[in-house]
């Protein structure tokens, strides 16, 4: 199991789902991935649900009936205030000033210039996910952008550790020119109507079986399981509330 004791600046360190029905989402993902949900009371509000795989925390979900359901990546930074200020100078739109999450860390929610949402995380007592890059955990994040050149400029300017390996079809994100953590791609004509967004990839041991199970749980399959040569077999799904995500059986 790829356990993480800390995250370097620029690494995806957390993934979080905003959903219109936390109980239904908890049940769907629990059935699909075997996740358990540890509910943390939030006063009069619905609980914040810490998601776990084999007893290790891998992300979270919470209920927000006003927001469009969706997954949001958190990127580790050294100083949340500095990163939020820099994001704004590059054309990003912080949703609020950075704030403390009790003694866990300091964060801010941001929209990039195209409208894709992400968060920055300055860890204190909570580094982020306990485990990544294993079945039923986060293993990749992918940006769908209507203007890939502008997205490359924004993110490489914001996260100094990001090294982008560009090709006409795809842009890979590496940290310190070594570890691949995600990618970016242009929203094509065939994908028109897709909003700018970051999509999580969760590792699985059988992409076909998980896609079939998602259908049985009233989820959607936007892209049926297919192979990416030398990478793996993937599919793009959505939960019953409409939050999209991808699954992949890595060829390794």
- In the beta sheet, which residues pair with residue 110? 94, 118
pTM given for the model: 0.95
pLDDT at site 29: 98
Looking at the predicted structure, is the pLDDT value of residue 105 above 60?
Answer: yes
Please write the tens of the pLDDT for every residue from 217-242.
999 999 999 999 889 999 999 999 99
Domain ranges of the chain: 12-123, 138-250
Question: Is the predicted pLDDT of residue 252 greater than 90, yes or no?
Answer: no
- Per-residue pLDDT band for 189 (boundaries 50, 70, 90) equals confident
The answer to whether 12-123 and 138-250 have equal CATH topology is: yes
CA dist., res. 105 & res. 56, Å (int): 19
pLDDT tens-digit map of 144-167: 999 999 999 999 999 999 999 998
* pLDDT surpassing 60 at residue 1: no
Q: What is the pLDDT of residue 177?
A: 64
pLDDT value, residue 179: 75
Structural class in CATH, domain 138-250 = alpha beta
Could you tell me which CATH number the domain at 12-123 has? 3.10.180.10
């Amino acid at each position: 199991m790829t356990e993480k004791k800390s995250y370097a600046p620029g690494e995806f360190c957390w993934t979080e789902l905003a959903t219109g029905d936390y109980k239904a989402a908890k049940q769907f993902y629990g059935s699909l991935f075997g996740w358990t949900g540890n509910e943390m009371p939030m006063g009069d509000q619905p609980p914040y649900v810490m998601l776990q795989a084999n007893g290790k925390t891998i992300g979270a979900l919470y209920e927000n009936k006003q927001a469009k359901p969706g997954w949001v990546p958190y990127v580790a930074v050294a100083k949340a205030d500095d990163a939020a200020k820099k994001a704004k100078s590059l054309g990003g739109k912080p949703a609020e000033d950075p704030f403390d999450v009790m003694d866990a860390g300091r964060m801010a929610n941001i929209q990039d210039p195209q409208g894709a949402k992400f968060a920055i995380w300055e860890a204190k007592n909570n580094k982020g996910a306990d485990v990544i890059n294993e079945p039923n955990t986060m293993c990749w994040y992918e940006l769908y952008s209507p203007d890939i050149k502008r997205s490359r400029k924004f993110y490489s300017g914001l996260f100094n550790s990001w090294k982008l390996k560009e090709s006409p079809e795809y842009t890979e994100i590496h940290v310190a020119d070594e570890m691949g953590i995600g990618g970016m791609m242009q929203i094509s004509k065939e994908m028109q109507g897709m909003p700018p967004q970051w999509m999580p990839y969760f590792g699985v041991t059988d992409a076909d079986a998980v896609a079939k199970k998602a259908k049985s749980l009233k989820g959607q399959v936007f892209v049926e399981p297919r192979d990416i040569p030398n990478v793996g077999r993937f599919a793009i799904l959505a939960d019953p509330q409409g939050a999209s995500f991808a699954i992949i059986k890595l060829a390794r």
